[in-house]
Amino acid sequence: MSSKRKPSASDSSGRKNKKIRKNGKRRDEDLSDFDEEYKSDASNDGSDRSLQDEDDLSDDLGPDDGLRVKGPDHIGRLLICGATNWDLYNRKSAPKGCKNTAAKNIYVPHRFAPLDDIRVRAVASGCNAAHSIIITEDYKVYTLGRNEKGQLGTGDLETGTQPYLLESLKEINIVNASCGRNHTLLLSDRGIVYAMGDNKMGQCGVGTTAPNVMTPTRIRYRGPPIVKVVCGGDFSIILDLKGNLHSFGDPEYGQLGHNTNGEYFMNSTKLVRAAVKAPKQITTYIEKSKDHITPVEVNDIIDVACGTNHTVALDSKRRLFSWGFGGYGRLGHAEPKDELIPRLVKFFETQGKGIKAVYCGSQFSIAVSDFKMAYLFGKTKNTGEVNMYPKPLQDLSGWTIRSLGAGFSSVVIAADNSVISFGASPCFGELGHGEMRKSTSVPMEVKALDGIYVDQVSMGQAHTLMIARDTSEEEKEKIEQIPVFTP
């Protein structure tokens, strides 16, 4: 769940309102308006030159009001399990020129040798991601994993087998992050968002579709401070202090919530999609019945999650809205239709009251309630039934869930004094149950973590990151008994 802070007294963003004109246009105008949106990017030579031409937002932080976006309270030791050959995993064949084709799977949670002496505040990956972000106790950022589009922010495209410290952000406190398929968003304690990686569909939000953003670059946004960032496969959603959502990137299935999938005819035969290159506010929410559509007033979104091509959001009245790709029931509307505008999930109006957090895997969504219940909609396995509407996960009834990581088809949960996981085959160790029990269709406690209190979990496509609490001597001793993985 996001953390919020009070707005600045100076203006809604606490920043100077620069009005720099360029080519006759104000630079603070929405770059995703009609004219910009439908320009062909065919002339783009693939360089980041257009990023450098922008007025430099990164120096324009405005007066420091002393208020901060709060990151996670917990601090602990990093544990990792799952597939760690970042070039290879979740591919049918190794990419050209890939020298390292050995599968490196960790089947039970291990400490991570390169960062074993550093305490960690937050970890992030994503259900489409083969890369990870690790935020240390003192708010510094390490990146790790696949880097084919520059998503690690290293300035090159070399795979990160060792964690890389983002020196360019060492003066900035990063409090949270999110990973898409090939892009990354980072959130600072000033409520400012930095992006890096694949940007062909504008998913880095920097105002262009330059194919790669190689180093952390401030997104093209002016408004209230941002308190949460979330990446879908090739799109991004940010939540501001006032409870508004803004989206950018690929609108393919309506996942941006702007009542369009972005398709238009470039000529009489070529159908293309327009990228949304800068954050654009989601303004309309609806309720659907059989014969009519009713607008719903939504002022305060408190949580949001993204799957590969869908989004789920929770407002302060505990109402759930979902939109984007509707296949396999992942939107919870009891029908597989795509939704181009955020639509109220009726089930939670009548039955699943008290929802406090939402999470998305690639093809499913999970809502967690205050009443020790979790509801799953969509599909987590390739065979058997799918949940076309939210159904309680009976095996998780009675557990107090504090953190949940959703991968491609797997789920790892930190609840009470246990870690619980489940997922259908194929699995690569991300569930942590050992080599003899790679997959399980029913939630099971991870025996290797008995006696270890895990504060946070995050899942990539086939790997899991955890933060284990180490505040007492007993907890430190338990962690020291966990094996070490050295990449």
Mean pLDDT along residues 166-179: 97
State both tokens at 413. Answer: 């949960």
Confidence of residue 37 (pLDDT cuts 50, 70, 90): very low
pTM for the whole structure: 0.88
3-state secondary structure of 395: helix
What are the phi and psi torsion angles at 273 (to 5°)?
A: -115, 135
Confidence of residue 168 (pLDDT cuts 50, 70, 90): very high
Confidence of residue 290 (pLDDT cuts 50, 70, 90): confident
The helices-and-strands tally (H runs, E runs) of the chain is 4, 35
Give the model's pLDDT for residue 6: 42
- Tell me how far apart the alpha carbons of residues 327 and 338 are, in angstroms, rounded to a whole number: 7
CB 354 within 8 A of CB 369: yes
Give the model's pLDDT for residue 50: 39
What are the phi and psi torsion angles at 451 (to 5°)?
A: 85, 0
Confidence of residue 353 (pLDDT cuts 50, 70, 90): confident
Residue with structure tokens 């869908």? 310
- Tell me how far apart the alpha carbons of residues 267 and 271 are, in angstroms, rounded to a whole number: 8
**Per-residue pLDDT at 30 exceeds 70:** no
**Per-residue pLDDT at 138 exceeds 90:** yes
Q: Which residues, other chains included, contact 3 with Cβ-Cβ below 8 Å and sequence gap of 6+?
A: 69, 70, 71, 175, 227
Q: Which residues, other chains included, contact 314 with Cβ-Cβ below 8 Å and sequence gap of 6+?
A: 301, 302, 303, 304, 320, 321, 355, 356, 357, 358, 367
Give the model's pLDDT for residue 432: 98
Give the model's pLDDT for residue 88: 84
Give the model's pLDDT for residue 67: 82
State both tokens at 390. Answer: 């939210």
Amino acid at 98: C
**Per-residue pLDDT at 57 exceeds 60:** no
Q: Greater confidence, 120 or 54?
A: 120
Beginning with the edge strand found earlier in the chain, give each strand of the sheet holding 339-344 in spatial order: 293-296, 285-288, 339-344, 320-324, 310-315, 301-306
**Per-residue pLDDT at 43 exceeds 70:** no
Q: How many residues does the chain have?
A: 487
State both tokens at 455. Answer: 């504060």
**Per-residue pLDDT at 21 exceeds 60:** no
Mean pLDDT, the chain, integer: 88
State both tokens at 274. Answer: 């327009």
Confidence of residue 360 (pLDDT cuts 50, 70, 90): very high
Confidence of residue 42 (pLDDT cuts 50, 70, 90): very low
Give the model's pLDDT for residue 99: 66
Give the model's pLDDT for residue 382: 82
Q: Greater confidence, 431 or 51?
A: 431
**Per-residue pLDDT at 198 exceeds 60:** yes
